[in-house]
Amino acid sequence: ELSERRIVPVIPPKANRRFPAAFDKDIYKWRHLIENYFGKLKENRGIAMRSCKTDESFKAFISIAATVIQLR
């Protein structure tokens, strides 16, 4: 299913693997940045628990949190 959608795994192999599998280090750097960004977003309890009642207020809360992260 993932290959049909042209999704490539970007997970690096274990360091002690006998025959290391190839992976794209540049794409992995972007993946790491994105995962860290989502982690920072989820530090806000309201986003992690999705406590907003409407989709609009949830989107607004994410926008505010993203702005605060960018200003840090």
Domain boundaries, the chain: 25-71
- C-alpha to C-alpha distance for 72 and 69, rounded to whole angstroms: 5
**How far is residue 17's CA from residue 2's CA, in Å, rounded to a whole number?**
24
35: confidence class by pLDDT, cuts 50, 70, 90: very high
| Number of continuous H segments (helices) and E segments (strands) in the chain | 3, 0
- Check: pTM over 0.75? Answer yes or no: no
Where does the pLDDT of residue 6 fall: very low under 50, low under 70, confident under 90, or very high at 90 and above?
Answer: confident
Pairwise CA distance, residues 50 & 52, whole Å: 6
pLDDT tier at 34 (50, 70, 90 boundaries)?
A: very high
